[in-house]
Amino acid sequence: MAKATTEINASSMADIAFLLLIFFLVTTTMDVTTGINRKLPPPPEKNQDIPDIKDRNIMNILISRSDRLLVNGKIGDLGTLKQDVKDFMTPHYPDDPNFPEVKEETIDLIGHVYKSKGIISLKNDRGTSYDMYIQVQDKLAQAFNELRDEFSQKKFHKNYKELDEDRAKAVGKAIPVPVSEAEPENVGDN
């Protein structure tokens, strides 16, 4: 006579699998620092006058559909873009006509500073590759991060990311990120 096999009761296996799934969903952390960090300006008020911005205060960056970079109408280089932005945004003394205007401002925790009135105007073609767009955005972010680190080191002897919230806000006021990004359009392959 054959020996009877005993069956394992598997009726609660679905409940256990569901509980394990819930446990891993609750305990897993998600990385929320991905993406491009940009603070959008508030919407303009009705009948608001458009500010008059001098040409010398604008650095025009254009990415064509073939991923060619133009900086102020001349062929640009991704390898030097970060330094070009840093040079453009660094206040020059006295008010050098080859660079953006400079304004004086007093900021809490820092005191009297000179700020550049420069604006980075970024425009790309609808055919620009996502990779090139992200590389240009990365170079812009690196330039402003380095400017903030250099300023922070000079004033507080720490990198920008190491500052407490109040000092970080003060450095952010001294070194803002004035990047204006236009809607992509068919700009051609200049």
Mean pLDDT to the nearest integer, 175-181: 89
Q: pLDDT tens, 16-46? A: 899 999 998 888 877 665 566 666 666 767 7
Q: Where are the domains of the chain?
A: 55-181
pTM above 0.85, yes or no: no
> 165 falls in which pLDDT band (50, 70, 90)?
very high
Q: What angle do CA 141, 135, 189 make, to 5 degrees?
A: 125
Residue 146: left if φ>0, alpha if ψ -120 to 50, beta else—which one? alpha
pLDDT at 59: 93
List all residues 6 or more positions away from 100 whose beta carbon is below 8 Å from its beta carbon.
Answer: 56, 57, 88, 89, 116, 117, 118, 119
C-alpha span between 163 and 153 (Å, rounded): 10
180 in Cβ contact with 119 (< 8 Å): yes
Q: Encoding tokens for residue 9?
A: 């009761």
C-alpha span between 121 and 119 (Å, rounded): 6
> 151 falls in which pLDDT band (50, 70, 90)?
very high
Q: Encoding tokens for residue 148?
A: 């903030």
CA nearest to 54, candidates 123, 117, 114, 122: 117
Q: Which residues of the chain form beta strands (DSSP E)?
A: 58-63, 69-71, 74-75, 102-107, 111-116, 119-124, 179-181
87 in Cβ contact with 147 (< 8 Å): no
Higher pLDDT, 167 or 4: 167
Mean pLDDT to the nearest integer, 163-173: 93
